[in-house]
């Protein structure tokens, strides 16, 4: 396996593991930059993945702690879809990806890494991006530090008209 430099992972590796759900948020926005929260809506929020599959990997998550799509109220689901669409628009504007993967994994057998709290993934992709690296070399490529990406995206969410 090849090794690439990923300095943000050391905080996770050496840091304390939370006992509480990583997606359950307080009302305070003081930790938003540290937690990579780009936007807080009424029923959901947009957060960057700290351990991304790909560059600029975002997630839309309900504030309410639910495990399954069927547990969402209609107003929660509608707001989340609005922000999934807005994330896609912002990613296309900011990074001009050739495509975008949008997904939801429900339950451990369904591929959910954190099965206790529902979250949608929005992952920009580029033709010829790192797909071959992951398949052939078991290596991920993230071209920019997470905080740099956060600083590029945060103003776009702050000025969103939604």
Secondary structure class of 66 (helix, strand, coil): coil
As separate numbers, helices (DSSP H) first and strands (DSSP E) second, the chain gives: 5, 5
Instruction: Tell me the residue length of the chain.
Output: 162
Out of 39, 57, 119, 121, pick the active-site residue.
119
d(CA 158, CA 5): 31
**Exposed, middle or buried: residue 119 (CB in 10 Å: 0-12, 13-18, 19+)?**
buried
Q: What is the CA radius of gyration of the chain?
A: 16
For Cα atoms 27, 33, 153, give the angle at the middle one, nearest 5 degrees: 115
Would residue 119 show up in a list of annotated catalytic residues for this protein?
yes
Cα separation, 73 vs 159, in Å, equals 27
- Catalytic center residues: 119
């Amino acid at each position: 396996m090849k090794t690439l430099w990923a300095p943000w992972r050391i905080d996770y590796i050496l840091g304390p593991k939370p006992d509480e759900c990583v997606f359950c948020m307080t009302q305070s926005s003081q930790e938003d930059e540290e937690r990579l929260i780009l936007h807080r809506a009424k029923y959901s929020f947009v957060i960057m993945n700290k351990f991304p599959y790909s560059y600029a990997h975002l997630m839309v998550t309900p504030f309410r702690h639910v495990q399954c799509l069927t547990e969402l109220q209609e107003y929660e689901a509608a707001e989340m879809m609005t922000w999934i669409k807005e994330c896609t628009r912002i990613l296309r504007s900011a990074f001009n990806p050739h495509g975008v993967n949008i997904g939801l994994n429900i339950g451990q057998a369904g591929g959910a890494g954190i099965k206790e709290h529902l979250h949608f993934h929005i992952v920009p992709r580029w033709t010829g991006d790192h797909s071959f690296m992951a398949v052939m070399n078991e290596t991920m490529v993230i071209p920019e530090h997470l905080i740099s990406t956060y600083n590029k995206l945060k103003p776009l969410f702050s000025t969103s008209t939604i």
